Each structure stands twice: as structure tokens, then as C-alpha cells.
Copies of this chain bind each other. A is one copy, B any other.
Amino acid sequence: MSEKNLQVLLARRPVGRAQESDFRLVESEIPRVGEGEFLVRNHFLSLDPYMRGRMSDAKSYARPVDVGGVMTGETAGVVVESRHPDYKPGDKVVVHRGWQLYSVSNGEAARRIEDDRLPLSAYLGVAGMPGETAYIGLLDIGQPRRGETVVVSAASGAVGSVVGQIAKMRGCRVVGIAGGPEKCRYTVEELGFDACVDYKAGRLREDLAAAAPDGIDVYFENVGGEIFDVVLSMMNPFGRIPVCGRISQYDAAEPYPTRNIGSILINRLKVQGFIVSDHPERRKTARKDLVQWVLEGRLKYRESVVEGLENAPRAFLDLLAGRNFGKQLVKLV
């Protein structure tokens, strides 16, 4: 391996909207493999909204990335060298070691892909963290019942698209919320949602009321802000709101002032935040079902792939701005 490693570092903490100059691409040596470690040549980097949170040092559920440190993130790749008993060269793996071409792992937050019948990239999306997030949040917290109305925001995204399709399997009426007619059309025509509301059309309340005429029983929350507030006012008694993400708020200068909190009491709602890594025991079950559903053609997914680690910052900013479509990946080979 005469090649060098490439890494994307956090150059500085964003103030308000993140920008390209908050990142820095650097060349470095390929890391040495210590005892109990293995080296991965990464093929795909996953870009996910949660990474925005790690760029800030505001209190959150995980440590922030250090300024000058490698940006956090999952990659899928192939083991090229190993001094770890459970991994051998040629193993396909997912590791959480950040935005770089080569990663050394001691096995923590890593997993070998056992059932590799899907393309490698799928294990970062539909059959990886985003798919598991959709599965656990919808089924364990949302608990949708046949005939209920399930609304999901960021509906064409890596998580939202899986939420809606699982809810359809459960016999629910599924309404997406997405930005723009193309994404909306995709959720209805390709994924089988019953309806989709384009929040950019400026008639969110009216369009959502028309799409969910019986009210909303489960709202899978990915965006926060105004959409959360409007949905709150349309929830049915005993509704459930799994809170998975708040992408509209990550770059916001001021937090959105939510006014319909009263609905939580009036409708006896359960609003619950969750993070997939808090539910390790459920992830394996989720993954097994998700792979199976993809193989059976019951679960569809879409990827946006940009080429080259140097384009990761731009692609990440596009993701935060809703300019991507489906699961956002960076191809590293």
C-alpha cells in the first residue's frame, strides 16, 4: 500500500449555518495496526444529519468532534489487515471511525456484515443505522395499528422512506412530508405512500389536513420546527410521536417557538426522543427483517452517491439543506 490516507477534519465549529470552510481535507499516513485491531479500506462513507450536532459543542447525547479531529461517521469497507481475532482480511465491515479512506478499529462500534446479499452501500442505509432507526422508532415507540394514519417527515430520506414503507406493511394510511414535487411523487409512486405533502408549497396545514382527513395517530419526527408545531395541532387522542431528528433546527440561529404543546395534554400524546444506539438488542432483529424485506422487493431504497472524499463536505451541506434525494453516500474507491 503505497497510497496515503485522506481524512476530513472539523476545521472549526460552525456558527449558525455550517459551511465548507468548517471542514479541511488532509492527507496522512495509513494508520498502523496494533494488537487487537484491524485496518479497513473504506468503500462508502455515510452522510447523516446527526453529524451536524457533533460539530457543535452544545450539550448533546454524544461528545462533539474535537476541532482538528476527524469528522465522525460510519463507513462500509473491506478489512485489508487484521490483528483482531474476529476479523480477517476480505471481511466486509461497517465501522464508525469517521470521514477517511482507511480506518483502524478495535472492534468497538464495528460489525462484520454476515448476510452480504445486498450491495455494500445498503448496510449504511436501508439495512444499516437509518433503516434500524426507522424500524425501532416506528414499531417500538410509534406502535402503529392497522387503519391508523402515520405521518413521516423527511419522507424520501434514508429514515423516512423506510418508516413509510413499514407503516404500509402494517396496514396504515401513510402520509409523507417532503420538500418539492419530485420527492413527493417518489414516495407515492415508487414507495407506495398514500399521499405526500410538499411543505415548500406553502400550504402545509391545509394540505396535511386534506391528506390526513381522519387526523394523525403516529407522527415520525425528523425535522422539528414549524412542521412539528402544525402536526401537533392535528394529532388524534392517544397519538404517538417518536422524535428521531430535527433537521430544520440544526443550523437555526434561534430555536423555533413551538405553540401547540397543549395538544400533548389534550390528546394524551406520547412524545419520545430516541437514538438507535440506545437499543442495541433490537438492532439485530431490525437488520434481519430489513434485509429480508429488501430481498423480497417489499422495501425499496434510493441512494445519492457523490464520488471522492473531497466532495463530502459539499454533499453534507446539501443534505442539511434538503438538496439530496434518498440516502446520501460518498464513494471512496
Contact = CB atoms under 8 A, between A and B. Distances in A.
Interface of A: 59-61, 224, 228, 237, 243-246, 249, 254-262, 264-275, 278
A236 to B, nearest CB: 11
Contacts of A266: 59-61, 273
B273 A61 contact: no
Contacts of A60: 266
A61 B245 CA distance: 29
B272 A269 contact: yes
A247 to B, nearest CB: 11
27 contacts: A61-B237, A228-B261, A243-B265, A245-B265, A246-B261, A254-B259, A255-B261, A256-B261, A257-B259, A258-B258, A258-B259, A258-B261, A264-B272, A264-B273, A265-B273, A265-B275, A266-B273, A267-B273, A268-B272, A268-B274, A269-B271, A269-B272, A269-B273, A270-B271, A270-B272, A270-B273, A271-B271
A268 B257 contact: no
A146 to B, nearest CB: 22
A255 B259 contact: yes
A246 B224 contact: no
A257 B256 CA distance: 8
Given A243-B265, A264-B273, 7 more contacts: A243-B264, A246-B261, A255-B261, A256-B261, A266-B273, A268-B274, A272-B272
Contact of A255 (B260, B274, B275): B260
A257 B267 CA distance: 19
Contacts of A258: 257-259, 261
Nearest to A238: B278
B278 A265 contact: no
Contacts of A61: 237, 266-268
Contacts of A237: 61
Contact of A278 (B255, B264, B268): B268
A270 B270 contact: yes
